[in-house]
Amino acid sequence: MHDNPSGDDRYYNNVFTEHSDLSAYDNARLPVRMDGNVLKCPRAGNLH
């Protein structure tokens, strides 16, 4: 059986709102690419 590693995701030109949580990607085993995104959150945690 083969595991399903996290990552290999791409986020470009999105608007993330207050309830967005991207912290799951902090420990992703595969590359995660993000660029041109807007984070509209008063208390931003991890920024990628």
Pairwise CA distance, residues 42 & 34, whole Å: 20
pLDDT, tens only, 1-48: 678 788 889 999 999 888 888 888 888 889 999 999 998 876 655 555
Cα gap 48→41, rounded to integer Å: 14
pLDDT at 36: 94
User: For 24, which DSSP code?
Assistant: G
**pTM of the full predicted structure?**
0.61
> What pLDDT sits at residue 12?
95
Angstrom distance (rounded) from CA 21 to CA 4 = 21
CA distances from 37 to 1, 2, 3 (A): 36, 33, 30
Measured on CA atoms in the order 30, 39, 18, 44, is the torsion positive or negative? positive
pLDDT of 45 reads 56
| Confidence at residue 13, expressed as pLDDT on a 0 to 100 scale | 95
